[in-house]
Each structure stands twice: as structure tokens, then as C-alpha cells.
Amino acid sequence: MRKRTTNKPAAGRMGLAALFILAFLSGSCRQAGSREARDPLQMSWEEVLQEARGSSVHLMMWQGDPFINRYMNEYVKPKLDSLYGIRLVLLEGQGNRIVSQVMTEKEAGIRRGGIDMGWINGETFYQLRQIDGLFGPFVEKLPNSRYIDFDNPFIAFDFQQAVEGYECPWGNVQQVIIYDSLRVPDPPRNLEALAAYLKAHPGTFTLSNDFTGMTLLKAFLVELAGSPDTFYGAFREQTYLKYSGMLWDWINGHKKYFWRRGETFPDAVAPLHQLFISGELNFSMSNNDAEVDNKILQGLFPETTRAYVPDHGSIQNSHYMGIMANGANKAGAMVLADFLISPEAQWRKADPAVWGDGTVLATEKLPPEWQKKFASIPHRKYSPGRAEIGKKAIREFDAEYMIRLYEDFRKKVIEN
């Protein structure tokens, strides 16, 4: 019988070996992390361009739309390469993934992270600012930022939080409700009409338990309060409790007529679209007001699909590009951001056959030839006009409202 004690020195050697390897690995990481690049905020734009040439930029973005993917892969990538000698690498992931990765890298002390830039919106901006995850202020440094419409509160403020140069506006959209005009000739335009519709057609309506669904709930809050002004400014607990209470009462009072009796909700817009396409639902929704044109052109929605904004209005917001504080290639990311807000890139993106994303540029500030080009962008065929729905645009509320809506929707509706 072998004595157990003979293993002790071996175990000790093993432990030592493990410690040595760990020490070596952590040393290597620190070594890699110590290669500090120059701060691009202290450089002239020419120096930024020079620093960025020959580098790679890692952009993390949602890649769930073939039109957007084509725009990035077939237009932005080659242009960035030919104009600035920058290789663009697209990484799949959106808000929560970006925050999670940056947070994990920060907690692990990694100073040269895997993401240089991320496509973000209000909630991600709020989270990244919370953890000091964003680099900046860098927007003023971009030559094309002189064309951005910063007088527009829908662009200068993200969830009521001043952008302050920590994220670069990229596009502007408004939420719409999508329906099939064959199945729903006269869509409900307020909560009272929606209640009547639900009773007459049970199981044909729901909302997604995600950013888009919560954005719709904000519009419902506005209708219940009578005006969006009630929610502008800093978060007010009493206001939230009063109107959210009315909202939960309304939803719980009618959820037996929702899809699956309101016992479950699709967790994203994609399954919501899927249910709409298969005929289970008569409605879908999108935060991209040109979505109907896109999806019809992709052959996913029938040509009888239309979109509208209810009488109480809908949230209009912007989406942005943020550079990560621990990004390895900040200069390259700044050049990419500048290119994305160039008149040409914005004009191409606004075409409904390309993407149909609203521009963040104040077109009156552009040179005359670009003003003409923007004026001649083909009109949408199936989606409502931007000017028309813009009259009913509601600004985003303070981020705290969104946090509370997410929590309470789960507690007071889903788990109720």
C-alpha cells in the first residue's frame, strides 16, 4: 500500500508550478497593457489620421439586419480602407454585450480592450458612463461634427443626459407600430381603441420584453398623463408611481386579451416580427421608422404592411457611436466616427433602399451640393414620412424611468 504522504512534495511542486504560470501570465498581460498609445485628444487632426493609418478598428454592433450589414461591409469598410488605410473589423454584439465586456475587462485591469468602438443608444450610454467606460470628450475634435444638428434636443441629449462629446450621433429614429392593412384596416390610435380592438381580436397583440417594448410603454405613460412634459427633466418618484400604477392597472386589466393571455412576452423584436409574419400577431413594432420599407424590400413583410404613430405620439431617439475608454485604437475609432458622420456616409444611409436611417446632420449647414442631394433622397414607399410622424415625437425620459419600467414590468405584469 502506498503511503499518501509521498504525494505531498508533488502537490507542493504542482502548486508552485501553477503559481509560476499564473505569475508569468499576469506579468505578460501587464506588459501588453503597458504599451500606452498617445492620447489622440492632444493631437492635431492630421496627427490623428497619421496615427490611425495602417491600424484596425474593432467595432461592436448589432448585425441583425441585412441592409445595415451590407451598408457596413460593402460601403463603409472599403471606403475606410481606401481613404484612410484603416481596416474595419465588425464584432457581433449590442448594448448589454458591450457593457458586459468593458466591465469585465475593467474589473480584470485590461487596459487595451477588445472593443474600440460600439454602436450604442441611451441605456448603454447610461451604463457606460456609470462605469467610466467611455473615452472623451472627442466629438468636437471630429471635423464633420460641425454639421451635426446639436440644436436638436433629440440628438444633443440621450435619455435626458447631455451627450457632452462622449458619444457621436450616428442616426435618428422614431418608434412606429407595424400592422398589415389587409388584416387591420383601421388600427387603434389610442389606449381606448386598443382596448376595444383587443376584446374583439384576442391574442393578436403583444409587446416585446426589451428596449422596444419598454419604449412603447413610455408612450402609453404619456397618454395616461396627457402630456410628455410630465416626464421631462430629472426622474420624479411620485410622478413615476402615479402613472406607472395606472399603466400596470391598464395592462393587467387587459392582458387576458394579449397574445398567450399576457403570461409570456417575446424577448426581442425579432420573434415579434416572426409572430407577425406567421399571422399569429396582427401587430409588430420597431424603433426604426423605415423598418416597413426595409422588410418589404427584403421580402419578409407583405406589401400590405404599414406603420403608424398613435395619437399620443411615440419616442424619437438617436443612436450613437461610443469609443471605449480602454479601447486599443482610439485614433482609428475617431477617424471611423468622423467618416460615419460625413455628408456622403449619412446621405447614403438615409436612402430607404440602403437603410433609411434618419440623418443627424443639420442639412442647412451643409455645402449646397449636399443640401440638394439630401433633398432628393427617394421617399419611403410604405413607411410614414419623417416630417409627418416627427410632429408627434416624444423625447426620451430620464434613464431611471427605463430602469423602473423594466423592473416593474417583470414584477407587476409578468410575474403577477
241 touching another protein, by CB under 8 A: no
Q: List the one residue from 33, 85, 165, 202 that touches another protein (CB under 8 A).
A: 202
- Closest distance to another protein from the beta carbon of 21 (Å): 6
130 touching another protein, by CB under 8 A: yes
106 touching another protein, by CB under 8 A: yes
Report d(CA 416, CA 410) in Å as an integer: 8
Rounded to the nearest 5°, which phi and psi values hold at 184?
-130, 85
Report the largest interatomic distance among the alpha carbons of the chain, rounded to a whole angstrom: 93
- Closest distance to another protein from the beta carbon of 302 (Å): 14
Place of cell 387591420: 184
Q: Are 384 and 289 in contact (CB under 8 A)?
A: yes
Identity of the residue, 73 or 96, whose beta carbon is nearer to another protein in the bound complex: 96
Q: Are 90 and 61 in contact (CB under 8 A)?
A: yes
Identity of the residue, 22 or 83, whose beta carbon is nearer to another protein in the bound complex: 22
123 touching another protein, by CB under 8 A: yes
Q: Which stretch binds another protein (CB under 8 A): 126-134, 224-232, 306-314, 333-341?
A: 126-134
- Closest distance to another protein from the beta carbon of 87 (Å): 29
- Closest distance to another protein from the beta carbon of 9 (Å): 11
- Closest distance to another protein from the beta carbon of 13 (Å): 8
Identity of the residue, 279 or 378, whose beta carbon is nearer to another protein in the bound complex: 279
Percentages of the chain per state (helix, strand, coil), in multiples of 5: 50, 15, 35
Q: List the one residue from 90, 91, 103, 195 that touches another protein (CB under 8 A).
A: 103
Nearest of 175, 189, 236, 199 to residue 398 by alpha carbon? 236
Cell triple for 224: 395616461
Q: List the one residue from 209, 244, 305, 346 that touches another protein (CB under 8 A).
A: 209
Which residues does 192 contact at the CB level (< 8 Å), separation at least 6? none
Identity of the residue, 147 or 276, whose beta carbon is nearer to another protein in the bound complex: 276
Place of cell 393571455: 261
Nearest of 30, 58, 31 to residue 328 by alpha carbon? 58
- Closest distance to another protein from the beta carbon of 263 (Å): 7
Q: List the one residue from 77, 165, 403, 412 that touches another protein (CB under 8 A).
A: 403
How many positions of this chain bind another protein (CB under 8 A)?
39
Place of cell 413583410: 301
- Closest distance to another protein from the beta carbon of 415 (Å): 5
Residues 268-307 interacting with another protein (rule: CB under 8 A):
274-275, 277-280
Residue type, 271: P
Report d(CA 328, CA 91) in Å as an integer: 15
- Closest distance to another protein from the beta carbon of 414 (Å): 5
Instruction: Return the bridge partners of 382, or none.
Output: none
Cell triple for 123: 441605456
Q: Are 336 and 413 in contact (CB under 8 A)?
A: no
Q: List the one residue from 97, 189, 236, 395 that touches another protein (CB under 8 A).
A: 97
- Residue 35: C-alpha distances to residues 116, 240, 329, 393 (Å): 16, 48, 12, 47
User: Residues in the site for another protein, rule: CB under 8 A?
Assistant: 10, 14, 17-18, 21, 96-97, 99-100, 103, 106-107, 123, 126-127, 130-131, 202-204, 209, 260, 263-265, 267, 274-275, 277-280, 402-403, 406-407, 410, 414-415
